[in-house]
Amino acid sequence: MVTGTTESGGERIMAKKERNLNAAAKAKKDEFYTQLTDIEKEMRHYRKHFKGKTVFCNCDDPFESNFFKYFVLNFNRLGLKKLIATCYFSSPIAGQQLQYHCDENGQMSFFFGDETEITDGAKRPYKAIVTQVYDKTGDGGVDMVDVAELFVSGENQLTELEGDGDFRSAECLALLDESDIVVTNPPFSLFREFVNVLIQREKHFIILGNVNAITYKEFFPLIRDNKVWIGASIHSGDRKFYVPDDYPLNASCCGMDEDGRRFIRVKGVRWYTNLDIRQRHEEMILVKHYNPEEYPRYENFDAINVDKTSNIPCDFDGVMGVPITFMDKYSPDQFEIIGLGIANLGLGIGVKPYKPEHKSYRKEVQKRGAVDGDLYMLDENGNPIVPYARVLIRNKHPEQPKGGQQ
């Protein structure tokens, strides 16, 4: 005899629907549309990498994504072989009697033959494959109207996907396998998994992410081993992203522009890539000199603390802990990355756990966390000071110190 309660078939269906709704709501919060100007400023540094290549925008609705717009309108100038775009929940797609409208901003809306626009409820995932772009309309220039006409004529492909368009799905992975470079703004909540897929399949990429991704245990080793680095154009401030019409504007960083489009400003955004660029090899000019009063040592690791990247001493040959924003200026020709001084990543490179008295003070008096592996210093009273995440580095070519190092 079985005791207790069991979940009925109806309850299981309802539970599954609820999980799907929650997943959809979470996906909606990740749906940020990158501005064309931000894309243009970054892509100009990679032009030589695109010639003869297949570019895959695998989180991008062609009717809303500025990534697709940038690459399709620059298809010939960049010398692309092919452009592929897939989306999760799509805008309207091609039917057998596809019609479209293209507004003054190049935004395409597609219709069926009866001119009834497809509603959100009928949206489904699809793929766009572009192999040629030319002046289809004969008006003397190439714009998004020509792009739309090339879809209508069948010279480029716009077809439904069999699955849901998730970048992890079998058909999207198959498209990834035939591509050379991935360029997109992936969902920030899936950043770790997204990068893992690209690394496993040995793909080149240029993607957006948060600067704090540097501290992820799955991602930092790629930074440390010079397999991934920060891009060329974004190193500070916030960035404006457009969001869906139903995105809640309940924070100070949200707003609506003059055209009625909702946006959110996101701090700490960075480009990440594994394509080499000239800026990566530009060395910092270091003007500060080491002295022990200005650069305290950590209590639990043999290294000095540097509070600002601009304060890195030019004549120190030991290990230094610097802010993660140092990576904006990092050149592998100038510095060696030793590790990251937080949690298990810190323990893995020899950062010692808290001493009992310091951990107790941190928790009971300062009311703060005390994670073994985090770097910390002591103030003049012998109490712990814990800086935000520190990248541990060493200068490969330090100047000869004037007064000797201690």
Whether 21 shows a pLDDT value over 80: the answer reads no
Nearest to residue 229, comparing CAs of 327, 308, 320, 339?
327
Q: Pick the residue with more confidence: 84 or 252?
A: 84
Confidence band for 83, pLDDT divided at 50, 70 and 90? very high
Handedness of CA 102, 58, 54, 172 (dihedral sign): negative
Mean pLDDT value of segment 171-188: 95
Confidence band for 265, pLDDT divided at 50, 70 and 90? confident
Contacts of 95 (CB under 8 A, 6+ apart): 112, 113
**E strand residue ranges, 310-406:** 319-323, 335-340, 377-378, 384-385, 390-395
Whether 333 shows a pLDDT value over 80: the answer reads yes
pTM for the full predicted model: 0.82
DSSP 149-218: HHHHTTSSEEEE-SS---TTSHHHHHHHHT-SEEEE---GGGHHHHHHHHHHTT-EEEEEEEGGGGG-TT
The pLDDT assigned to 266 comes to 74
The pLDDT assigned to 9 comes to 45
- Tens digits of residue pLDDT in 156-171: 998 888 888 899 999 9
Ramachandran angles phi, psi of 36, nearest 5°: -60, -35
The pLDDT assigned to 152 comes to 87
Whether 93 shows a pLDDT value over 50: the answer reads no
- Tens digits of residue pLDDT in 209-234: 999 999 999 999 999 999 999 999 88
The residue type of 14 is M
- Classified as helix, coil or strand, 125 is coil
Least confident of 11-15, 93-97, 328-332, 396-400: 93-97
Crossing angle of the two packed helices 170-177 and 191-200, in degrees rounded to 10: 50
User: Domain map of the chain by residue range?
Assistant: 12-280, 282-395
List Cα–Cα distances, 342 to 189, 264, 300, 389, in angstroms. Answer: 21, 30, 12, 6
Q: How many CA atoms lie within 13 A of 61 on its CB side?
A: 21
Confidence band for 41, pLDDT divided at 50, 70 and 90? very high
Mean pLDDT value of segment 80-89: 90
- Classified as helix, coil or strand, 376 is coil
Whether 113 shows a pLDDT value over 60: the answer reads no
- Tens digits of residue pLDDT in 344-403: 999 999 999 999 999 999 999 998 889 999 999 999 999 999 999 999 999 999 998 765
